[in-house]
């Protein structure tokens, strides 16, 4: 009865934490491709191949449903995987959906024409690969009109967080916010388009100011998943144990994950 969560590194642990709190009785298999992190600086073909391999591994480990808790993978690989065909009884979902549901205040299944929404100016903070894909803007355009999106590629932030250098991560966040606000000084909302960024949410909020509503992914994804599984209980797979899998160095990843979540996390080799 397991659900899979995939990320290129440790950022997806923010989603894992929120999902496990919302679904305490559902085993979760977390797969971190730490060996190849970060994905945000890789090309689309590379991201697709790495993501496809990881998702198939999770399907083989008893997870019928896999959440791509990685915006870069969601942007560069999800649509291509779905177009190539997903095996019967399996499903892979990305993390853009809950964000856009919240931003546009409409359900994903609502296929009515795009309409105006209350938010007009949106600041998007994401990895270089996610920004380059324009996937967020494309999905938003299907549902809303009159929304201006200014994207900032936040180079270096993921690396600093993965290395545990939060002082550097904070300095980089403030620098990236400053760069974006020079381009869009009157943002209504800000999207933290990387699952690493919730750890830095207070810094983003402080740098942006209280007038900007910050949308972070972890809790939105968890709430959306709870709703989805109520409607599709058959998508909970046959796995019975929670696991943390990594392609990286087990000891190093376990120690970094423990620091990341502030409780002991033990990874095993994928």
CA dist., res. 203 & res. 240, Å (int): 38
Residue pair 11/200 in contact (Cβ under 8 Å)? The answer is: no
- The single residue of 194, 203, 220, 236 carrying the catalytic annotation is 194
- The single residue of 18, 63, 70, 192 carrying the catalytic annotation is 70
Residue 70 among the catalytic residues: yes
CA dist., res. 64 & res. 252, Å (int): 29
Helices (H) and strands (E) in the chain, counts: 12, 12
Q: What angle do CA 137, 138, 140 make, to 5 degrees?
A: 65
Strand 144-145, strand 189-193: pairing: unpaired
Residue pair 166/191 in contact (Cβ under 8 Å)? The answer is: no
What residues have CB less than 8 Å from 2, skipping those under 6 apart? 26, 27, 28, 29, 61, 62, 63, 236, 237, 238, 239, 240, 241, 242
CA dist., res. 171 & res. 157, Å (int): 9
Residue 194 among the catalytic residues: yes
What residues have CB less than 8 Å from 4, skipping those under 6 apart? 28, 29, 30, 31, 55, 58, 59, 61, 63, 65, 66, 67, 237
Q: Which residues are catalytic?
A: 70, 194
């Amino acid at each position: 009865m397991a659900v899979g969560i995939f990320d290129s590194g440790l950022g997806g642990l923010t989603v894992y934490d929120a999902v496990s709190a919302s679904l305490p009785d559902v085993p979760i298999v977390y797969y971190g491709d730490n060996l190849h992190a970060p994905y945000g600086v890789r090309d689309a073909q590379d991201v697709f191949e790495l993501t496809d391999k990881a998702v198939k591994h999770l399907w083989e480990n008893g997870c019928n449903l896999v959440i791509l808790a990685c915006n870069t993978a969601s942007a560069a690989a999800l649509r291509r995987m779905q177009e190539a065909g997903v095996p019967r009884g399996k499903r892979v979902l990305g993390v853009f959906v809950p964000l856009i549901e919240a931003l546009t205040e409409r359900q994903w299944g609502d296929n009515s024409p795009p309409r105006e929404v209350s938010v007009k100016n949106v600041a998007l903070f994401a990895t270089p690969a996610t920004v380059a894909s324009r996937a967020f803007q494309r999905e938003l355009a299907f549902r809303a009109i009159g929304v201006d999106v200014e994207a900032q590629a936040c180079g270096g932030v993921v690396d600093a967080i993965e290395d545990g250098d939060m002082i550097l991560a904070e300095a980089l966040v403030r620098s990236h916010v400053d760069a974006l606000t020079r381009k869009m000084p009157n943002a209504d909302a800000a999207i933290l388009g990387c699952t690493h960024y919730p750890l830095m949410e207070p810094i983003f909020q402080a740098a942006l100011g209280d007038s900007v509503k910050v949308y972070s992914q972890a809790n939105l994804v968890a709430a959306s998943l709870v709703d989805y599984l109520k409607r599709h209980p058959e998508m909970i797979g046959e796995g019975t144990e929670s696991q943390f899998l990594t392609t990286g160095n087990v000891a190093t990843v376990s120690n970094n994950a423990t620091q990341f979540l502030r409780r002991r996390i033990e990874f095993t080799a994928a």
